[in-house]
Amino acid sequence: MPDELDKKIIGFFQKDIPLEPMPYKIVADQLGVSEDEVLSRIREMITSGVIRRLGATLFHQEAGLKANAMVAWLIPEEEIDEIGNIMAGFREVTHCYHRRPQRDWRYNLFTMIHGDTREECNEMARKMSERTGMKDYSILFSEKEFKKSSMEYY
**Closest-CA residue to 64 (of 19, 124, 115):** 115
pLDDT at position 115: 86
Q: What is the pLDDT of residues 100-152, one digit of tens each?
A: 998 899 999 999 998 889 999 999 999 999 999 999 999 999 877 665 556 66
Q: What is the pLDDT of residues 51-108, one digit of tens each?
A: 887 766 666 565 556 788 999 999 999 999 999 999 999 988 988 999 999 889 999 9
Please tell me the CATH code under which domain 67-141 is placed. 3.30.70.3460
List the Cα angle 69/61/11 in 5-degree steps. 95
